Amino acid sequence: MKIVENKFSSNKFSIEIIKPIKHPSCSECPVIEEEDLIPKRSPSLVKAQQKYYQKNKEKITHKQMLYNVKYNKLTTICPCGDVITNASKYHHLKSQRHKRRLDNIKNGKFAGSTAGEEIVNCGCGGHYIYKHRHQHFKTKKHVSYIIEQQEKLRTQLTQKEIRTQLRLMLLGENIVTDDASDKINSSVIKEI
């Protein structure tokens, strides 16, 4: 690689890279290393760029700041269905969430149909995401709902009614609740 000051161009600090051609059969051709292919700036170009930057530092940083603010606010809709900003696009495309959602779409499922992203409607009137269910179960609304359900069950079924329902299930007979203890003994229940 050779850095040459271009005399024919209007910019005297331009960089020209000359790559030597290596023939497969020629042993005289030099071996090209990757470090030689990287263009190097001449010292005069570096000094000129530094001087320009120092002179216009505020103007350059203000332009960069305005661009960054505008760029970060721009949003796009990903093929997986998520709305993402341009600033987070690269990280989103590499994420497991993005890959999982695309797989769900390919398989004909809803994009967010994984267990961690499904919304579950609870009997208490609330809803939660599956992976946050433990937080929902600790809420006052859900705890009061569970207590109410337990009290309803206690009042509906007394101990005697539970025994008769158990016997009905085991024997399959219609037994009157008053005579249930007289007609069936424990040996019949054990044999079934």
pTM: 0.33
Tell me the pLDDT tens digit for each residue of 127-183: 888 888 889 999 999 999 999 988 887 777 676 777 787 888 777 665 555 555 555
Task: Look at the chain and report how many structural domains it folds into.
Answer: 4
pLDDT tens, 18-42? 555 555 566 666 666 666 666 777 8
Q: Is 70 in the same domain as 100?
A: yes
Query: How is residue 72 written in tokens?
Result: 């970060």
* 8 A C-beta contact, residue 34 and residue 22: no
Residue 67 domain boundaries: 56-114
Strands 75-77 and 83-85, bridge-based pairing? antiparallel
Q: Are residues 60 and 48 in the same domain?
A: no
Whether residues 140 and 99 fall in one domain: no
